[in-house]
């Protein structure tokens, strides 16, 4: 993953969906530079990192929650030099400062949970 690269994920949260996760993973280390976890049942969007075998501090504040049951979404994740900038449906949702300084080692995007994907651009 390089600076100024944008990842686009379009999908749908099923009516009975409870949560899903998007993980930006770094090679064989198991590190997760960015974990985005919309928890539909809680009405929250949790962000975190998993480095050297441990989860970091969760970030939960968002100005609004665009992920609801039965909702389509258009997610855009832009990697900057010092942070990820995340937009949903064209509106800024949150920034997440890099905790993995070598974010360039991210080589996998994992998407799992209660979500139906319609488009992914890496």
Contact (CB, 8 A) for 83 and 1: no
Question: What CA–CA distance (Å, rounded) separates 24 from 31?
Answer: 8
Over the stretch 21-69, which tens digit does the pLDDT of each residue have? 999 999 888 999 999 999 998 999 999 999 999 999 999 999 889 999 9
Q: What does the alpha-carbon distance between residue 121 and residue 11 come to, in Å, rounded to a whole number? A: 12
| pTM as predicted | 0.95
The full set of domain ranges for the chain reads: 5-121
The CATH architecture of the domain made up of 5-121 is: Sandwich (2.60)
CA distances, 9 to each of 6, 28, 71, 83 (Å): 10, 24, 14, 18
């Amino acid at each position: 993953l390089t600076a100024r690269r944008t990842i686009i994920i379009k999908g749908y949260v099923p009516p009975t969906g409870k949560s899903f996760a998007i993980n930006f993973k770094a090679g064989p280390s198991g590190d997760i530079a960015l974990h985005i976890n919309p928890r539909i049942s809680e009405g929250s969007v949790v962000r975190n990192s998993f480095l050297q075998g441990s989860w970091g501090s969760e970030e939960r504040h968002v100005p609004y929650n665009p992920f609801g049951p039965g909702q389509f979404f258009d997610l855009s994740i832009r990697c900057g030099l010092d942070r990820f900038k995340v937009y949903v449906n064209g509106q800024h949702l949150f920034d997440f400062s890099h905790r993995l300084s070598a974010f360039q080692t991210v080589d996998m995007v994992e998407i799992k949970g209660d979500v139906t994907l319609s488009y992914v651009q890496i």
